[in-house]
C-alpha cells in the first residue's frame, strides 16, 4: 500500500509516518517499478505497536526501539515500563507530529537519539552506512553493473540515514561528477549514464509530488532550447520546494517564449535556467534580457560564464545549492518589501526551512545530469 493508505489504516499522519521511517527505521518499504515506496502488513503491525506504546506514555523513540528490538529477537513487544525522563522526550516527539522533527530530535536528548540511530544502523545492509564517499562508491558499483535493486538499496540508505538535502548534495550530485568522469575516461558506456540518470530522476520525481502545495514564492525552472541535461536543475527544484517554494518545473528543451509565458502566468518570483554551454544562453540573450525586466532571472551551469552574465544582465547561481536557495529567498523577500511582486506570497515558512537546510554540507559543482 502507499503511505496515504497506511496512514488512513493506522490513524497516524503521513508526516509522522515519514518521520518514524527516516528517524527510527520503523518502516521498511519496498520499491515499485516507478520508484515509489510500498508498505506491507508488517509495517502496519509495527506502527500499531508503536501507537499502542505511545498511548501508555512511551516516547516514539523508545517505542520504536522496543518494537524493532522485538522483531530482531523474534519476541512480542513488552508493553510494560516507561522511559526515564519520558516527559521531556514525549514533548519533543509531539513536536515531530507538529512538523518540527529536527528540533524535536535535538530536544529529545542525546540518549534517546543515540538509541534511535543505533536501531537505524542495525537495519542498514552490511557495508552501507552514512559516509557519503562510501555511498557514492556503492552507487557507482550498482550503476556500472546496471543493478537496479542494489542501486535502490543504496539510495534508500542515503535518504534514510541522511537528510534529503544531504542525500542530494553529498551523494546524488557527487555521483554525477563521478559518472561524468568515468564516461569521459571510457570506463562506463552511455547505457550506464542513462541508467544513472533514469534512476536518480525517478527518485527525485517522487520528492516532487508536493511542489504545488503551499503559499510560498513561485519559481519557474527550465533548460533552454537544445539542453536536455536537467538532473542538477531537478535537484535544485527539490531543495527549493523543501524550503517552502512552489515549483513550476518545465524541464529540458523549453522554448524561451513558453518560459516567459509561464513566468507571467504564475507571477514567478524567480526564473531559473540551467545549461552546459554558453551558446545555449547567448542564442536567446535578447529574450532573456526582456524576461529579466519582469522577473528575477538566474542562470546556472557551466554555460553561465562571466561574459554571458554580463551580456544578458541577469543573476548567477553557483555551486552551493543551499546558499542558492537562501539567496533566491532573500531576493523574493526584498522584492515583496519593495512592492514588486504580484500576489500575496508568504515567506516565513521558506525562511525557516532555509535556515534548517543551511547546516548541510555543500558539494563542488557537478557536471550536468
Helix (H/G/I), strand (E/B), else coil: 247: strand
What is the enclosing helix (H) or strand (E) of 272? strand 270-274
Q: What is the pLDDT of residues 29-62, one digit of tens each?
A: 887 776 778 999 999 999 999 998 888 878 777 8
Alpha-helical segments (H) within the chain: 3-10, 14-24, 41-55, 60-73, 86-97, 101-108, 110-123, 132-144, 148-161, 164-166, 173-184, 190-206, 231-242, 256-266, 278-282, 285-294, 306-312, 321-337, 348-357
CA dist 60 and 53 (Å) reads 8
Do 260 and 296 lie in one domain? The reply is yes
Whether the pTM exceeds 0.85: the reply is no
Do 115 and 137 lie in one domain? The reply is no
User: The domain that contains 9 carries what CATH number?
Assistant: 1.10.1660.10
CA dist 155 and 347 (Å) reads 32
User: The domain that contains 240 carries what CATH number?
Assistant: 3.40.50.280
Do 113 and 139 lie in one domain? The reply is no
Among all chains, which residue has been given the C-alpha cell 537505524? 120
pLDDT at 355 over 80: no
Grid coordinates representing 288 are 532573456
Grid coordinates representing 352 are 525557516
Residue in 212, 219, 215, 251 with CA at minimum distance from that of residue 331: 219
For residues 239 and 321, the answer to whether their CB atoms sit within 8 Å is yes
For residues 168 and 238, the answer to whether their CB atoms sit within 8 Å is yes
Among all chains, which residue has been given the C-alpha cell 561528477? 177
Do 236 and 194 lie in one domain? The reply is no
Q: State the total domains in the chain.
A: 3
Q: What is the pLDDT of residues 57-80, one digit of tens each?
A: 787 778 888 998 888 876 444 443
CA dist 233 and 224 (Å) reads 12
List, edge to edge, every strand of the sheet that includes 218-222: 246-251, 218-222, 270-274, 297-300, 315-316
pLDDT at 174: 92
Q: What is the pLDDT of residues 221-268, one digit of tens each?
A: 999 999 998 999 999 999 999 989 999 999 999 999 999 999 999 999
Among all chains, which residue has been given the C-alpha cell 517554494? 245
Q: What is the pLDDT of residues 159-210, one digit of tens each?
A: 888 888 999 999 999 998 899 888 888 899 999 999 999 999 888 888 888 7
Burial zone of 14 (CB within 10 Å; 0-12 exposed, 13-18 middle, 19+ buried):
middle
Do 318 and 194 lie in one domain? The reply is no
Q: Is residue 236 included in any domain, yes or no?
A: yes
**Residue ending a domain, choose from 123, 148, 181:** 123
Q: Is residue 87 included in any domain, yes or no?
A: yes
Could you tell me the residue range of the domain that residue 140 belongs to?
132-206
Q: Please state, in angstroms and as integers, the Cα–Cα distance from residue 132 to each residue in 73, 171, 200, 216, 265, following that order.
A: 31, 6, 16, 31, 40
Helix (H/G/I), strand (E/B), else coil: 299: strand
Q: Is residue 284 included in any domain, yes or no?
A: yes
For residues 335 and 296, the answer to whether their CB atoms sit within 8 Å is yes
Do 168 and 225 lie in one domain? The reply is no
Do 238 and 327 lie in one domain? The reply is yes
**Residue ending a domain, choose from 206, 229, 249:** 206
Q: Is residue 154 included in any domain, yes or no?
A: yes
Cα radius of gyration (the chain): 22
pLDDT at 130: 63
pLDDT at 1 over 50: yes
Do 193 and 244 lie in one domain? The reply is no
Do 236 and 284 lie in one domain? The reply is yes
**Residue ending a domain, choose from 206, 236, 264:** 206
Q: Is residue 185 included in any domain, yes or no?
A: yes
> Pairing state of beta strands 315-316 and 270-274?
unpaired
Beta bridge partners of 272: 221, 298
Amino acid at each position: 500500500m502507499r503511505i496515504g493508505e497506511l496512514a488512513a489504516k493506522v490513524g497516524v499522519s503521513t508526516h509522522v509516518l515519514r518521520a518514524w521511517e527516516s528517524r527510527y527505521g520503523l518502516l521498511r518499504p519496498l520499491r515499485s517499478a516507478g520508484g515509489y515506496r510500498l508498505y506491507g502488513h508488517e509495517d502496519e503491525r509495527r506502527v500499531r505497536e508503536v501507537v499502542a506504546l505511545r498511548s501508555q506514555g512511551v516516547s516514539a523513540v523508545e517505542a520504536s526501539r522496543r518494537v524493532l528490538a522485538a522483531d530482531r529477537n523474534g519476541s512480542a513487544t513488552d508493553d510494560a515500563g516507561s522511559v526515564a525522563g519520558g516527559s521531556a522526550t514525549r514533548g519533543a516527539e509531539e513536536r515531530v507530529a507538529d512538523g518540527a522533527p529536527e528540533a524535536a530530535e535535538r530536544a529529545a536528548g542525546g540518549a534517546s537519539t543515540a538509541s534511535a540511530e543505533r536501531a537505524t544502523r542495525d537495519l542498514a545492509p552490511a557495508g552501507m552506512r552514512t559516509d557519503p564517499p562510501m555511498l557514492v562508491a556503492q552507487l557507482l558499483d550498482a550503476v556500472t553493473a546496471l543493478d537496479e535493486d542494489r542501486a535502490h538499496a543504496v539510495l534508500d540508505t542515503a535518504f534514510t540515514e541522511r537528510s534529503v538535502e544531504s542525500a542530494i548534495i553529498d551523494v546524488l550530485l557527487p555521483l554525477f561528477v563521478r559518472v561524468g568522469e568515468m564516461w569521459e575516461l571510457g570506463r562506463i558506456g552511455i547505457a550506464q549514464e542513462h541508467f544513472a540518470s533514469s534512476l536518480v530522476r525517478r527518485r527525485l520525481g517522487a520528492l516532487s509530488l508536493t511542489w504545488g502545495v503551499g503559499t510560498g514564492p513561485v519559481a519557474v525552472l527550465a533548460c533552454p532550447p537544445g539542453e536536455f541535461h536537467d538532473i542538477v536543475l531537478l535537484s535544485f527544484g527539490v531543495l527549493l520546494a523543501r524550503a517552502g517554494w512552489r515549483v513550476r518545473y518545465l524541464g529540458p528543451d523549453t522554448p524561451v517564449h513558453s518560459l516567459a509565458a509561464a513566468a507571467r502566468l504564475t507571477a514567478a518570483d524567480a526564473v531559473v535556467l540551467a545549461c552546459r554551454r554558453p551558446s545555449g544562453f547567448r542564442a536567446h540573450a535578447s529574450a532573456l534580457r526582456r524576461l529579466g525586466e519582469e522577473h528575477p532571472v538566474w542562470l546556472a551551469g557551466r554555460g553561465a560564464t562571466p561574459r554571458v552574465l554580463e551580456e544578458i544582465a541577469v543573476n548567477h547561481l553557483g555551486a552551493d545549492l543551499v546558499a542558492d536557495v537562501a539567496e533566491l529567498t532573500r531576493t523574493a523577500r526584498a522584492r515583496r518589501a519593495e512592492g514588486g511582486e504580484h500576489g500575496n506570497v508568504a515567506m516565513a515558512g521558506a525562511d525557516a526551512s532555509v535556515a534548517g537546510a543551511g547546516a548541510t554540507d555543500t558539494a563542488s559543482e557537478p557536471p550536468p545530469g
